[in-house]
Amino acid sequence: MKKKIVIILSLIGLIISTYLYFEGRKINCYLNGCSEVLSSSYSKIFGIENSLLGIFYFFLSGLLTIFNKENILRVISIFSFLFALYLVFIMFFILKKICYNCLIVDISVIIIFILIHNFPKYLSKIFRS
């Protein structure tokens, strides 16, 4: 079940990241600030667009899940999780604009991290005690 959820989230993230990569600069979201978020200086790291990093991450996470390489995915997901938290912080507290497509991508990264590191299992043990 966990494997299916990670694959579905990877597909969702891959689709949205690809859309943002090819159409991101053209998006005019006056209601929620997509344009401002996607054109900000925070939309790239070391000259690489965040959406391109998302494409790479979600493609890789899907493949690693399919081929049962969870240990590699655990390491990659730590960095991706921290980066997603950073981007959410930037959106809410620095830019004060929300790009819902970006937020879906970030939430997907966070959920994959939680599932891969078995946090639901740990939480159920804590609450059963």
Please give the pLDDT value at position 2.
87
**Position 17 confidence tier, pLDDT thresholds 50, 70, 90:** very high
CA distance between the termini of the chain: 25
Three-state secondary structure of 33-81: CHHHHHCCHHHEECCEEHHHHHHHHHHHHHHHHHCCCHHHHHHHHHHHH
Q: Which among 117, 112, 114 has a CA at the least distance from the CA of 14?
A: 112
Ordered by start, the domain boundaries in the chain are: 2-128
Contact in structure between 13 and 57 (CB atoms under 8 Å): yes
Assess whether pLDDT exceeds 70 at residue 60: yes
Q: Name which residue leads in pLDDT, 35 or 105.
A: 105
Assess whether pLDDT exceeds 90 at residue 15: yes
Q: Of 21-35, 64-78, 98-112, which gets the smallest average pLDDT?
A: 21-35
Percentage, residues of the chain above pLDDT 90:
69
Please give the pLDDT value at position 36.
84
CATH ID of 2-128, from 1.20.1440.130, 1.10.510.10, 3.30.460.80, 3.40.50.300: 1.20.1440.130
Give the residue-averaged pLDDT of 11-40. 82
Contact in structure between 54 and 2 (CB atoms under 8 Å): no
Assess whether pLDDT exceeds 80 at residue 104: yes
**Position 39 confidence tier, pLDDT thresholds 50, 70, 90:** confident
From CA 56, how far away is CA 35, in angstroms rounded? 22
